[in-house]
Structure 1
Amino acid sequence: MDAHRLKAIYRVTFVGFAVNLVLAAGKLAAGLAGRSGAMVADAVHSFSDLATDVVVAAFAKLSAKPKDEGHDYGHGKYETLATILVSLALAAVGAGILVSSIRGIRTVVDGGILPRPGAVALAAAVVSIVAKELLYRYTVREGRRIGSPSVVANAWHHRSDALSSLGTLVGIGCAYFLGEKWRIADPIAALVVAVFIFKIAFDLIRTGLDELMERSLPPDLEREILRLVALDPEVHDPHNLRTRRIGASIAVEVHVRMDGAMSVARSHEITEQMERRLRDRFGDGTMIAIHVEPLRAQ
């Protein structure tokens, strides 16, 4: 990982950490002052974001280490591991919201009355939604720009907090404006939010596990790789393509055929041109191995 990319990851992660710290403290104070269990739970959700920010920053430094004697392909998988850890944190937060929402629903079903939240909790929910959605948009844009799956995963964690706050806003709004019988809307909204969070976590975990299990790149990218390899008319029959993702980089192995009478120098020159085209398309960190075979007589 180059220094510019690492610096970008640290910058976007620090911004997220600072915003989450202010929001979490503010929502906790608003939840306690406004007697809103939903807002207190939302604050806990924000505090979980602080932990994932630390995970992303720590693993970004590990994945930036260059290859060494024991890691010929570098340390990019640390970033994949960070993505999975962030995703598991998302799932844990979703489970917590789910349990809390079911408890609230049961309270109302059993004849209990949920407390009426204060206006300060309502205002905190609105501020949280706006701030977290803006933070999500900034983080996901930067993560895609620098090609960091763990930063993108962390962006979705920010959005899950915005969704959680949206559910909290609906519940608090119903409880505040519509009376006692509508206070069940709070845990019901939280239940819906939990389902969305589980869906996001599942998708991110699946992506991370695919990388750890050396899953090939999507077919459209493999077709593009073969096309770039075969652009030179002296290159024939690209085959035995193997691809995989290593953190933010990819690895490509492919066999090609060239004229058996061609000089080694010319063969090497053509191979370098193929590598240059692939790195121009997929980044300087692309790991490429090209095996040249003699062209079979027709």
Structure 2
Amino acid sequence: MENNLLPAEKQRVSEARKVTWIGFFVNLVLSVGKILAGFWGRSSAMIADGVHSLSDFVTDLIVIIFIGISSKGKDENHQYGHGKFETFATMIISFALFIVAFGILWNGCVTVYESFHGKAIGRPSAIALWAALISIVVKEGLYWYTVIVGRRIDSPAVIANGWHHRSDALSSIGTLIGISGAMFLGDKWHILDPLASIVVSVFIFGVAYKLALPSIQELLEESLPAEVEKRIGELVMNVPGVKAFHHLRTRKNGHVFIIDIHIKVDKNISIVEAHDIATQVEQTMRRTFGDQTQTNVHVEPYYPKDGF
């Protein structure tokens, strides 16, 4: 399957999988460590934090599977390629974050409710505190590494996975604050531990929303941003032989731009010349927006009286 990919696309897939596998094994160690620290350290916030890290396994696997599929070229059933698979993976990651956030919110609310009805909340111990500190440092570092790679290879799914790491770091910051307060401010403040998990869930909801919105917009075939379409128009009009253009339609397929456009050329030139102009338009789009940009050009004769 991947033998048919362009060299640049093979490199992109390789880098995406490398950074995701690294995240996968880091999450393995952190998840087990945080859940154990939560049980041993009597911290509901740390257990919730560990479950959050555990959810990263699912998203890592999604990226590893879908990034290879999305890089496939056209086939009989996918005439525009498989880029939407990566967009779909991003949406799944965002939905996973929504589920994780809701689970943490629910658990925290139940614990707070029970505490107001007489159930004692245990004082967390130092092991939970140290687990939170280690998690913050490791997951923030993993966030920057993943996002930098994702931006370099222009992979929404990898960037989304990086934000999943960041959400875990935010979760651990809230956990750290809650555990610290519960440990050092006395018995009345043990409730800070579950309250911290509630605050963290709100942050995670926000991250999930930021990831979900653009992926849903792309799956619903939303046009490229207005500034990009303006740039396309400028580039087309700079191609020698193009008199005018209209019916510009755009969309994204993963990281690939798809552009449909009608251009008007001198009605007296030959079919060969008109075809060459259309080819120059296609090449201009690929040079500007990437080798995999798909441009469909319809050529029409130019009549000044048409107003085009």
For 1:145 and 1:189, locate their aligned partners in 2 and report how far apart those are by CA, in whole Å.
35
Report how far residue 98 of structure 1 moved: 0.4
For 2:296 and 2:187, locate their aligned partners in 1 and report how far apart those are by CA, in whole Å.
67
Q: Which deviates more from structure 2 when the two are superposed, residues 262-271 or residues 236-245?
A: 262-271
Alignment check: 8 A CA contact 1:113 1:180 kept: no
For 2:232 and 2:193, locate their aligned partners in 1 and report how far apart those are by CA, in whole Å.
51
Deviation sequence 1:202-255 (CA, Å, 0-9, x none)? 222221111111110111111111111111252122210110110111100011
Instruction: Provide the residue aligned with 1:35 in structure 2.
Output: 42
SS of 1:289's equivalent in the other structure is strand
| Residue 300 of structure 2 corresponds to residue 293 of structure 1 | yes
For 2:85 and 2:205, locate their aligned partners in 1 and report how far apart those are by CA, in whole Å.
23
| Residue 106 of structure 2 corresponds to residue 99 of structure 1 | yes
For 2:164 and 2:195, locate their aligned partners in 1 and report how far apart those are by CA, in whole Å.
21
Q: Which deviates more from structure 2 when the two are superposed, residues 119-128 or residues 68-77?
A: 68-77
Instruction: Provide the residue aligned with 2:202 in structure 1.
Output: 195
Instruction: Provide the residue aligned with 2:63 in structure 1.
Output: 56
The correspondence of residues 69-218 of structure 1 with structure 2, limited to 5 A, is 69-218=76-225
Instruction: Provide the residue aligned with 2:28 in structure 1.
Output: 21
Alignment check: 8 A CA contact 2:43 2:193 kept: no
In structure 2, what residue type is equivalent to 1:86? I
Q: How many residues were matched structurally? A: 298
Report how far residue 33 of structure 1 moved: 1.9
Report how far residue 53 of structure 1 moved: 0.2
SS of 2:299's equivalent in the other structure is strand
In structure 2, what residue type is equivalent to 1:258? V
For 1:179 and 1:285, locate their aligned partners in 2 and report how far apart those are by CA, in whole Å.
61
RMSD: 1.3
% of aligned pairs identical? 49
Instruction: Provide the residue aligned with 1:7 in structure 2.
Output: 14
In structure 2, what residue type is equivalent to 1:92? I
Alignment check: 8 A CA contact 2:140 2:165 kept: yes
Report how far residue 147 of structure 1 moved: 1.1
For 2:58 and 2:84, locate their aligned partners in 1 and report how far apart those are by CA, in whole Å.
20
Q: Which deviates more from structure 2 when the two are superposed, residues 274-283 or residues 238-247?
A: 274-283
Instruction: Provide the residue aligned with 2:228 in structure 1.
Output: 221
Alignment check: 8 A CA contact 1:107 1:114 kept: no
TM-score with structure 2 setting the length: 0.93
Alignment check: 8 A CA contact 2:240 2:277 kept: no
For 1:196 and 1:236, locate their aligned partners in 2 and report how far apart those are by CA, in whole Å.
51
TM-score with structure 1 setting the length: 0.96
Report how far residue 110 of structure 1 moved: 2.1
Alignment check: 8 A CA contact 1:94 1:195 kept: yes
For 1:99 and 1:267, locate their aligned partners in 2 and report how far apart those are by CA, in whole Å.
64
For 1:280 and 1:126, locate their aligned partners in 2 and report how far apart those are by CA, in whole Å.
46
For 1:41 and 1:21, locate their aligned partners in 2 and report how far apart those are by CA, in whole Å.
15
Report how far residue 65 of structure 1 moved: 2.2
Deviation sequence 1:32-57 (CA, Å, 0-9, x none)? 22122211111111111011100111
Q: Which deviates more from structure 2 when the two are superposed, residues 204-213 or residues 214-223?
A: 204-213
Q: Among residues 262, 273, 278, which one is paired with 1:271 in the alignment?
A: 278
Report how far residue 29 of structure 1 moved: 2.1
Structure 2: runs of 5 or more not aligned: none
For 2:58 and 2:265, locate their aligned partners in 1 and report how far apart those are by CA, in whole Å.
53
Alignment check: 8 A CA contact 1:77 1:246 kept: yes
SS of 1:112's equivalent in the other structure is coil
Report how far residue 74 of structure 1 moved: 1.2
Deviation sequence 1:156-186 (CA, Å, 0-9, x none)? 1111111111111010000111111112222
For 1:112 and 1:297, locate their aligned partners in 2 and report how far apart those are by CA, in whole Å.
82
SS of 1:216's equivalent in the other structure is coil
The correspondence of residues 235-246 of structure 1 with structure 2, limited to 5 A, is 235-246=242-253
For 1:239 and 1:183, locate their aligned partners in 2 and report how far apart those are by CA, in whole Å.
65
Report how far residue 199 of structure 1 moved: 1.7
